[in-house]
Amino acid sequence: MPAWPPIPYDFLPEVPALAVESDDVRDGERLPEAQVFDDWGMTGGNISPHLRWSGAPEGTRSFAVTCFDPDAPTGSGFWHWLLYDLPSDLTELPADAGSADAKLGTHARNDFGSLAYGGAAPPPGRPHRYLFAVHALGVESLGLGPDTSAAVVGFNITANTLARGFIAPVYET
C-alpha cells in the first residue's frame, strides 16, 4: 500500500501550534463508534468528540473547530464539521457540541449537507484520517452565513488563522 499523502495542513501557511486534547479521541488511534456516522449503512453515535485546547497566541479574537477527512475518494476530501465564530475565551467543547441543537458559534453546512457534525463514514478499504482541528483566529467573526460552502469557510479560516492544532484519529470499515 502506498504511503499516505501529506495531511492538507502541510500545504497551508505555517502558523504556531495549539495543543489539542480530547477525552474521546486520540491521535493515530481508531475513532470510537460514538463519532461514527449514523446513516449510509453506518450505525455510530454521530456525536462530535470532546475537545480541549491551549496555547492561543496574543491577538486571538475567536476560534473555529473543523473535522476534515483528507482521504475521502472525492478529489477534494470531505468536510465533516465546520464550527466557527467561537468566543476567544473558550478553551473546551463538550462532546456533542456539534449537534444541530448546539447554540455555540455558527455551524457551516458540511459535506453531508447538514449544519452539524457528521461522523466518519468511509467506504470499505483503507483507513481514513479524521482531522479534528482547532484554529485560533485573528478576527471576532468570519462574517459568513451557515450556508456558505465548506471550501469558502475553510478559505476564510485559513486566511485568519494565527495558530492551529489537531488530533487525527483513524477509522475504516
CATH of the domain at 150: 3.90.280.10
Q: What is the pTM of this model?
A: 0.94
Which residue from 166, 172, 143, 170 is spatially nearest to 66, judged by alpha carbons?
166
In a domain, 132, yes or no: yes
Judge whether 173 lies within some domain: no
Does residue 3 form part of some domain?
no
Residue-level pLDDT at 9: 62
Q: How many domains does the chain have?
A: 1
Q: Does 6 map to a domain?
A: no
Category of 96 on φ-ψ map: left (φ > 0), alpha (ψ -120 to 50) or beta: left
CA nearest to 88, candidates 140, 164, 166? 140
Q: What is the pLDDT of residue 8?
A: 66
Q: Which domain holds residue 72?
A: 27-163
Let me know if residue 158 belongs to a domain.
yes
Write the CB contacts of 88 (distance below 8 Å, at least 6 apart in sequence). 56, 60, 61, 62, 63, 140
Q: Is residue 43 part of a domain?
A: yes
Q: What is the mean pLDDT of residues 50-58?
A: 98
Q: Residue 102 has what pLDDT?
A: 87
Query: Is it the case that residue 1 has pLDDT exceeding 50?
Result: no
Q: Are 47 and 35 in contact (CB under 8 A)?
A: yes
Q: 118 and 46 in contact (C-beta within 8 Å)?
A: yes
Instruction: Answer yes or no: are the C-beta atoms of 1 and 126 closer than 8 Å.
Output: yes
For residue 128, being part of any structural domain is answered with yes
d(CA 118, CA 44): 10
99 CB contacts (<8 Å, ≥6 apart)? 47, 48, 116, 117
pLDDT in tens, 7-51: 766 678 899 999 999 999 999 999 999 999 999 888 999 999 999
pLDDT of residue 87: 98
- Residue 150: inside a domain, yes or no? yes
CA–CA separation, 83 and 108 (whole Å):
6
DSSP H/E element including 158: helix 150-159
| Nearest-angstrom CA–CA distance, 156 and 65 | 13
